[in-house]
Amino acid sequence: MPSVRTLGNFRLLSHDEPLGGVGKAQRRPLELLKLLIAYGGTQVSVSRITDALWPRIDGDSAHRSFTSALHRLRKLLGEDRAVLLHEGKVTLDRRYFWVDVWAFEALASELEAASEPARVEKLADKMLALYAGPFMADDADAPWYLQPRERMRTRLARAMKRVLRHWQEGGEAERARAGYEKWLEIDAALVQRARI
């Protein structure tokens, strides 16, 4: 099953090896995959996709470009059903590949609902392990990455503040400092904005 890493630099992997080529032919299918993930991966309208990826091309030409990129993305993933197109909307089928952001968001939701300190710590550790850097860090200027990037930074900040506060209040100042330093190492801009 392919896996997609979006936290830090983007990577599409199969058995921990890069999947597909990196040439120009793979650029648009990978941009399509990145965009779908940024937009949540569920029920993303084709018009929204074409407006983002082919803004200077007229409607019919943009739609043909989308159709070609979709075909090549399915081929790259090795499964047509991995990317569904139904009634003008595109959905990534989670049964056919793993995406780090989906796992990160699930952990964040679980942590936000957790009350037991040991469980909160364990979930925060897993979130930190997944968070290799900002969402799509290698595509810093694409506007559709900004909202998910900020959402994940905020969720990680909330989780870390909760854990660090727990350690400080429990008299584990050294552990809190080490956790803070690890967090700072991963995403310095995030920590500065959180102002712990």
Query: Residue 33 in contact with residue 70, Cβ under 8 Å?
Result: no
Residue 147 has pLDDT above 60, yes or no: yes
pTM over 0.95: no
Distance CA 165, CA 162 (A): 5
Do residues 47 and 68 share a domain?
A: yes
* Sign of CA pseudo-dihedral 190, 191, 192, 196: positive
% of the chain beyond a pLDDT of 70: 91
In Å, what is the CA distance from 73 to each residue of 32, 48, 149, 162?
Answer: 8, 18, 23, 40
Among the three residues 62, 92, 122, which one is the final residue of a domain in this structure?
Answer: 92
Number of domains the chain contains: 2
pLDDT digits (tens, 9 = 90+) for 161-173: 888 888 888 888 8
Q: For position 21, what pLDDT does the model report?
A: 57
More confident residue, 83 or 58: 83
pLDDT (mean) for 80-97: 94
Do residues 9 and 84 share a domain?
A: yes
Do residues 77 and 114 share a domain?
A: no
Among the three residues 50, 72, 92, which one is the final residue of a domain in this structure?
Answer: 92
Do residues 77 and 107 share a domain?
A: no
* CB half-sphere exposure, 29, CA atoms < 13 A: 21
Among the three residues 35, 68, 92, which one is the final residue of a domain in this structure?
Answer: 92
pLDDT (mean) for 134-159: 86
pLDDT digits (tens, 9 = 90+) for 16-48: 788 765 556 688 999 999 999 999 999 999 999
DSSP lists the bridge partners of residue 83 as 92
Q: Which domain holds residue 56?
A: 3-92
Q: For position 190, what pLDDT does the model report?
A: 55
pLDDT digits (tens, 9 = 90+) for 109-145: 999 899 888 898 899 889 888 988 889 988 877 888 8
